[in-house]
Amino acid sequence: MIVERFGNMDASVILVQPVEKYGLKTMEDEITKIRSMTKTEFGMMAFCVEDWNRDLSPWEAPPVFGKEGFGGHAPLLLEKILVQCADESKTYYIGGYSLAGLFALWSSYQTDRFAAVAAASPSVWFPGFYEYMKNNQPHGEAVYLSLGDREEKTKNQVMATVGDRIREGHALLSEQGMDTILEWNEGNHFKDTEVRTAKGFAWLLNRLN
């Protein structure tokens, strides 16, 4: 697995983000955007995901769009990430966009290694995920959630549930005592992805430091 490091890796806070290969090219822009919104020093580890649907999905699920289903290999990816997050002197925040945002949120239920989560436009429409949230308790101190205000306006019946699921998930996290926010952005799922992810990480850095 390719792991690229950005920012100040000597900082006490390290951000963790799964990205597609092409996403590595925009990481410097995302780092710049985060720095414009916080004074807290941080490093970033970007983990290049080989197969988006396979590696980031917490369990197997049938196709929702197109013909490609979900492989349920998230536990294997998380295991690899945790190997790189073994420095007890560091504080780790995990985040991501879309299915990577779902993976980040799911990871907070699996381990206490991550102090906080930045789930930008997470795929909380994923079959069975809200039920999973209802039956489990996340670790960490804070969860940032966001969604575009047009993301639920889609003809895909499964993906159209994303608005209801994220509202319900945010309410559930609040009831469980988690420090959480749900922020709405303008546009559909594909607008300003780096900006939305940067806003999530910056909120955590400002909130907890």
The pLDDT of 47-64, averaged and rounded, is 95
Q: How far apart are CA 41 and CA 9, in angstroms?
A: 9
Could you state, in order of their start, the residue ranges of all structural domains in the chain? Answer: 3-208
pLDDT for position 91: 98
CB within 8 Å of 10: residues ≥ 6 apart: 43
Burial class (CB in 10 A: 0-12, 13-18, 19+), 108: buried
Q: How far apart are CA 196 and CA 2, in angstroms?
A: 24
CB–CB of 95/104 below 8 Å? yes
CB–CB of 145/166 below 8 Å? yes
The pLDDT of 99-125, averaged and rounded, is 98
Three-state secondary-structure class, residue 55 = helix
pLDDT for position 24: 82
pLDDT for position 4: 95
CB–CB of 180/144 below 8 Å? yes
pLDDT for position 160: 95
Is 90 exceeded by the pLDDT of residue 22?
A: no
Is 90 exceeded by the pLDDT of residue 1?
A: no
Count of C-beta atoms within a 10 Å radius of residue 104: 28
Decide if domain 3-208 falls under CATH 3.40.50.1820: yes
142-179: b or e for each residue (b if 16 or more CB lie within 10 Å)? bbbbbbbeebbebeeebbebbbebbeebbeebeeeebe
Is 90 exceeded by the pLDDT of residue 203?
A: yes
Q: Range with the lowest mean pLDDT among 4-18, 56-70, 71-85, 105-119?
A: 56-70
CB within 8 Å of 16: residues ≥ 6 apart: 44, 45, 47, 81, 85, 92, 93, 94, 95, 114
pLDDT for position 23: 79
In tens, the pLDDT along 150-190 reads: 999 999 899 999 999 999 999 999 999 999 999 999 999 88
In tens, the pLDDT along 81-104 reads: 999 999 999 999 999 999 999 999
Q: What are 195's two structure tokens? A: 């900006």
Give residue 60's identity as a one-letter amino acid code: E
Q: How far apart are CA 108 and CA 38, in angstroms?
A: 23
Where residue 66 falls among pLDDT bands split at 50, 70, 90? confident
Give residue 153's identity as a one-letter amino acid code: K
Is the sign of the CA dihedral 200, 206, 208, 209 positive or negative? positive
Bridge partners (DSSP) of residue 154 are none
